A and B are shown apart, each in its own frame.
Chain A
Amino acid sequence: MKRALKFFLAGLTVGLFLLTARGQESSAVREKLSRAVLADGAAQRQLVAELGDTGSGLVHDVLVAWTRDNVFLYDSGNAKIPVLLEDQTDADGKARAISIADGKFLLDAQKHELRFAPTELASADTDAALRAVIQQTLDTLALADPDPDARQNAVLKLGNSKKLKNLPVLQARLAKETDVPVQRSIKEAIAMLQLDDPDPKIQSAAAQQLAALKSIGSLDLVRALADSKTAPSEVVKAAKNSAETIGEHISFVNIFGTIFRGLSGGSILLVVALGLAITFGLMGIINMAHGEMIAVGAYTSYVVQNLFGTGFAFSINLPFHFFGHPLGFSLSLPGLNATGWFYETYFLFVLPLSFIMAALAGLVLERTVIRFLYRRPLESLLATWGVSLVMQQLFRMVFGANNVQVSSPRWLLGHFTVDDVSLGYNRVFVIAFAVLIIIGTWLLLTKTPLGLLIRSVMQNRDMASCLGVRTARVNMMTFAFGSGLAGLAGAFLSQIGNVGPSMGQLYIVDSFMTVVVGGVGSIVGTVCAAAGIGTSDQVLQQLTGSPVSGKIVVLVCIILFLQWKPGGLFSIRSRSLD
């Protein structure tokens, strides 16, 4: 695409290029170009073909202009001078002319710049044979592009051209190519072209070569050959074998792609559910406002991003009056107007800040609402649902009812490819981060004094209290920690999904299911359940063909799974009855 755009732009702005970027092209090349335009017949074709070795952008631009009849011949009286007309035209539709031979403007006797309209000049004509040679030269030039990606695109284009005449160009390039992926592409393209070779032996060899290269792009061609009625039987057989091999490779790539997406989906679920595993699993509090803690984290990343950019402001007007003054609240924070790499680092600040903000929100929630409800878990569900309504409405008032835009830092965009399986950086990052969070949580719960206190209070609150543990404080810390994890999850989701006032609602059912399936009170269980649910979600989406039916099947499976293991994957064994 980029390449196609370049072709297009080059044709349009060719004059300007000559003036600026191509100014320092060697005079030998220019001179040769000029001669080529002026020459005739076989000699001309010979000259044009030789231009392919120059690797010069100027040659490319001029040749493209030539095929579009934009190279003109100026008759100075004693000789013809090949020229290009500048893009910029004056009021009469005339433009300055640039000589191809030296890259300078044509001047008349008084050293004034000559101006022409395209109709005033004869264009250098081309015939079919010449255009074919020009095209070949252009292909050769594209194959010699210094950028490997551009070379690869040119190779693919030739490989899909189905024209055997492109074969020599590719073979010539293969001998010179040093970049390994491009080499592979060239081999693939050659084999794809050779599928149409008149010699059945070469055809069969090409099919086998494609199978050896596991070329996904050639599957359609190979299949067409395998189904062809006219091809000799041994070719059809070879093509069938290759199609099978390539098909296997494709399903392999699909399976691993699905597993990868499943794992990254599971990681998101895990980061979301881990906070819940602590507040619900360990503390027994059903926090319906957990989803809003996620939103707190996501909005924090939005605010931080804006602070690095142009600043953040909001205002709320309440429909009440206080002694005639309308009540309202507004806040305006100036931005850093950061650019470049400094702006890209904003995400590094987002991670701790989103944790802290959500943890603070959790702390306030625990102190004001939840501490009254430790002995009434079902009612904690209702009260926290009320809190979630309030928080959603606050988000709407502060950030607006629509989704807000959080842009990913550049280092999270893009992907790399392993054996045709494409791995997005952001998904890899999510998986890696989920692993870090699990390790961090595990270390905190098992290796620190706070973790010891948390576990003791969760196991038996009264006994811990008797032994001098300040249970109220531990509860507070635990709840804040769980909420903070939700905030971190929100920071992630801001990079992957939408950030809106009710974003938390999307994840709340899933994350409760994850905790229940994993076994309430078991962090390991939550990890396994998240990976399992995430992967099966992706697999079922593939199988059923729609995300919604996949999700429904997963939910039904979970309900059935709990028949088999009501306590979840890792239920904590206990002799107590309830």
Chain B
Amino acid sequence: MPRKASNLELWVVLAVALAVIIVLPCLNAFTPDGSWLHVSNFTITIYGKYLCYAMLAISVDLLWGYTGLLSLGQALFFSLGGYMMGMYLMRMIGDLGQYHQPIPDFLVFLGWSTLPAFWKPFACFPFAMLMAVLLPGTLAGVFGYLAFRSRIRGVYFSILTQALTYAACLLFFRNSLLLGGNTGFTDFKFILGHDLREPATQRALFVSSAIALLLVYLLCKWLTQTKFGRIQRAIRDSENRVMFSGYSTANFKLFIFILAAIIASLAGVLYVPQVGIINPSEMATDKSLETVVWVAVGGRGTLVGPIIGAFAVNAMKSWATRAYPDLWLIFLGTMFVLVTIFMPKGIIGLPAQLRALLKKYRRGKPNGQPAPVVSGEEILPAKSK
């Protein structure tokens, strides 16, 4: 991408971020109910949710769009972060649960009278946050080390990450893990001493999500412009050439895999207090695929694309589930098919694609083929190994 356009993008993002971080919460807090300028609490929570999804989408894009690793396990790291936050929030309920016991309701239900040892430190917020970074990071590190060491790549990597997520999902559905089984955690009351149902708390969470997203965006922007970022893209386009040039591609991939896992986990941490529930269905195989689709729709290989994709697809989903509850899956599915086939560059690439079409049309050439895609898979033979 030319330097100029890149700068323009940065300015636009900063302007939008400023609007989101300052203007929206102010409109929510200081305008009277019913005024046309008023932003409802509902909107704030919904957008806060989308902001977390956008972070998750960036983590997928960092892997898929920039490194060519299609991970279907990002929902796992997202949920792990969510679970760590959920454990903290569960401890904050105190004895206000239905059973009025000092331990979470589901533990009472399972017949526990004292807190299991691994639950104890989660009353401490910094510890929960530390775990939200360490646990997904370690899991990604171990899994990534094993996978990249034996040169598992391409679709095999996708399938393996999917299997990992599936196994974890089955594990979290079990009651004996003492993490709430299939109902997970819910009924949260307080975060850092503030009532979660207060609009002010929700605004604060919204603003923190927006700031976190902005920071993640800036970090990734910087990272992809360094030499590291160039190697990353080189790995995507031709891993063997990078390897023959003397780079240890496995280490680069491992680093990016861990980083993406931590970003996804942070998204989960911010997501859970805003939606008020976390359960194992968040790490079902569908969720990871859905995230990949946001990236595909927005435009992979860019950093704005995933954000746009996450907002666009989720906004459409919210609308369609209400307007056509029976048909929305069909809409969604059809959209994915059409986007993958006809818009390989996503919404971000649409103007360029249209320009190319227009050029062809002016030259009078017949045109029926989708725009060519230039990517690693295109150069290599279709069937690898």
Is there contact, CB below 8 Å, between A513 and B170?
no
Closest approach, in angstroms, between the C-beta of B338 and any C-beta of chain A?
A: 8
| A389–B332 touching, CB < 8 Å | yes
Q: Check if A446 is an interface residue, CB within 8 A of chain B.
A: no
A559–B340 CB distance below 8 A: no
A108 at the A/B interface (Cβ < 8 Å)?
no
Whole-angstrom CA separation of A520 from B330 in the bound complex: 31
- Mark out the residues of chain B between 106 and 154 whose CB falls within 8 Å of any chain A CB in the assembled complex: 143, 146, 149-152, 154
Contact A520 B385 (CB under 8 A): yes
Q: Is A516's beta carbon under 8 Å from chain B?
A: yes
B159 within 8 A of A: yes
B interface residues, how many (CB within 8 angstroms): 54
Report whether A566 and B383 are in contact in the complex, using a CB–CB cutoff of 8 Å.
Answer: no
Which A-chain residue is minimally distant from B161 (CB atoms)? A559
B382 and A377 within 8 A (CB): yes
Q: Are B337 and A387 in contact (CB under 8 A)?
A: yes
A466 at the interface (CB under 8 A from B): no
Please give, as numbers and ranges, the residues of chain B lying within 8 Å of A552 by CB-CB distance: 167, 170-171
The answer to whether A548 and B170 touch across the interface, beta carbons within 8 angstroms, is yes
Within the complex, the shortest CB–CB distance from A219 to chain B, in Å, comes to 31
B156 to chain A: which residues have CB within 8 Å? 516, 520, 562, 566
Q: Which residues of B lie under 8 Å from residue A393 when comparing CB positions?
A: 326-327, 329-330, 333
Q: A393-B327, A509-B163 are in contact. Are A376 and B158 (CB under 8 A)?
A: no
A286-B158, A509-B163, A558-B163 are known contacts. Are A578 and B384 too (CB-CB below 8 A)? yes
- In the assembled complex, A94 has its CB within 8 A of some CB on chain B: no
Q: Mark B279-314, 1 if CB is under 8 A from A, else 0.
A: 000000100010011001000000000000000000
Bound Cα distance from A385 to B329, whole angstroms: 11
C-beta contact mask, A330-370 vs B, less than 8 Å → 1, else 0?
00000000000000000000000000000000000000010
* Contact A373–B333 (Cβ < 8 Å): no
Query: Within 8 Å CB of B354, what residues of A?
Result: none
Cβ contact within 8 Å between B166 and A574? no
Known: A393-B333, A509-B162. A376 touches B378 (CB 8 A): yes
B173: which A residues are within 8 A, CB to CB? 548
Instruction: State whether A377 and B155 are in contact (beta carbons under 8 Å apart), knowing that A388-B333, A389-B329 are contacts in the complex.
Output: yes
B70 interface residue, CB < 8 Å from A? yes
1/0 per residue A554-567: CB within 8 Å of B?
01101110111011
Determine if B335 is an interface residue (Cβ-Cβ < 8 Å).
yes
CA distance A560 to B164 in the complex (A): 11
Q: Are B170 and A551 in contact, CB atoms less than 8 angstroms apart? A: yes
Please tell me if A19 contacts chain B, counting CB pairs below 8 Å. no
> Which partner residue on chain B sits nearest A566 by CB separation?
B150
- Chain A 311-337 interface 0/1 with B at a Cβ cutoff of 8 Å (1 = within): 000000011000000000000000000
Cβ–Cβ < 8 Å partners of A562 in chain B: 150, 152, 156, 160
A555-B336 contact given A319-B324, A377-B155, A378-B70, CB 8 Å threshold: no
Cβ of B164 and Cβ of A559 under 8 Å apart?
A: yes
Question: Contact: A386 with B337, CB < 8 Å?
Answer: yes
Q: Which of A319, A376, A385 lies in contact with B289, CB distance below 8 A?
A: A385
- Chain A residue with Cβ nearest B381: A578
A283 to B173, CA, bound (A): 35
Cross-chain contact of B150 among A382, A387, A563, A578 (Cβ < 8 A): A563
Q: Which residues of chain A come closer than 8 Å to B215, judged between CB atoms?
A: none
Flag whether A132 is at the interface (Cβ < 8 A): no
B370 partner residues in chain A, CB cutoff 8 A:
372
A390–B163 contact, CB under 8 A? no
Contact A385 B167 (CB under 8 A): no
In the assembled complex, A302 has its CB within 8 A of some CB on chain B = no
Contact with B along A367-407 (1 / 0, CB 8 A): 00100111111110111011111111110110000000000
**Interface mask (A156-184 → B, CB under 8 Å = 1, otherwise 0):** 00000000000000000000000000000
Closest to B157 in A: A378
CB-CB nearest in chain B for A379: B340
Beta-carbon contacts of A493-519 to B below 8 Å, as 1s and 0s?
000000000000100110011001000
Determine the distance from Cα of A375 to Cα of B333 in the docked complex, in whole angstroms.
Answer: 21
A389 to B151, CA, bound (A): 32
Interface of B is mostly: helix
In contact, A383 and B158 (Cβ under 8 angstroms): no
Contact of B341 among A373, A391, A394, A560 (CB under 8 A): A373
The CA of A391 and the CA of B381, in the complex, are separated in Å by 30
Are the CB atoms of B377 and A386 closer together than 8 Å? no
Decide if B341 touches A383 in the complex (CB within 8 Å): yes
Report the minimum CB–CB distance from B157 to chain A (whole Å): 10
The answer to whether A385 and B336 have CB atoms under 8 Å apart is yes
Contact between B329 and A319, CB atoms less than 8 A apart: no
Q: Which residues of A contact B143 (CB under 8 A)?
A: 559
Q: Which of A374, A376, A387 has the most CB of B within 10 A?
A: A376
Most buried by B among A283, A373, A509, A513: A509
B8 located at the interface, meaning its Cβ lies under 8 Å from any Cβ of chain A in the complex: no
| Distance between A29 CB and nearest chain B CB, rounded to angstroms | 63
Contacts of B375 in A (CB 8 A): 376
Which of A319, A551, A562 has its CB near the most chain B CB atoms (within 10 A)? A562
Q: Is B230 an interface residue (CB 8 A)?
A: no
A192 → chain B closest CB, angstroms: 40
- Residues on A with beta carbons closer than 8 Å to the beta carbon of B337: 369, 383, 386-387, 390
Interface residues in B244-262 (C-beta closer than 8 Å to A): none
Question: Is A571 located at the chain interface by the 8 A CB criterion?
Answer: yes
Question: In the assembled complex, which residues on chain A have CB atoms less than 8 Å from the CB atom of B382?
Answer: 284, 374-375, 377, 461
A391 to B333, CA, bound (A): 9
Seen from chain A, the residues whose Cβ lies within 8 Å of a Cβ on chain B are 283-284, 286, 288, 318-319, 369, 372-379, 381-383, 385-394, 396-397, 458, 461, 505, 508-509, 512-513, 516, 520-521, 546, 548-549, 551-552, 555-556, 558-560, 562-564, 566-567, 571-572, 574, 577-578
Q: Mind listing 16 A-B residue pairs with CB under 8 Å?
A: A284-B382, A288-B289, A319-B324, A372-B370, A375-B378, A377-B377, A379-B340, A382-B336, A389-B336, A390-B333, A390-B334, A393-B333, A512-B159, A548-B173, A555-B166, A559-B163
- Known A377-B377, A386-B332, A572-B385; 20 more pairs at CB < 8 Å: A286-B155, A375-B382, A376-B344, A376-B373, A377-B154, A385-B293, A385-B333, A390-B333, A390-B334, A393-B327, A461-B382, A509-B163, A516-B156, A546-B174, A548-B174, A551-B167, A559-B143, A564-B150, A571-B385, A578-B240
Closest 8 CB pairs of A and B: A386-B336, A389-B333, A390-B333, A555-B167, A393-B329, A284-B383, A383-B340, A386-B333
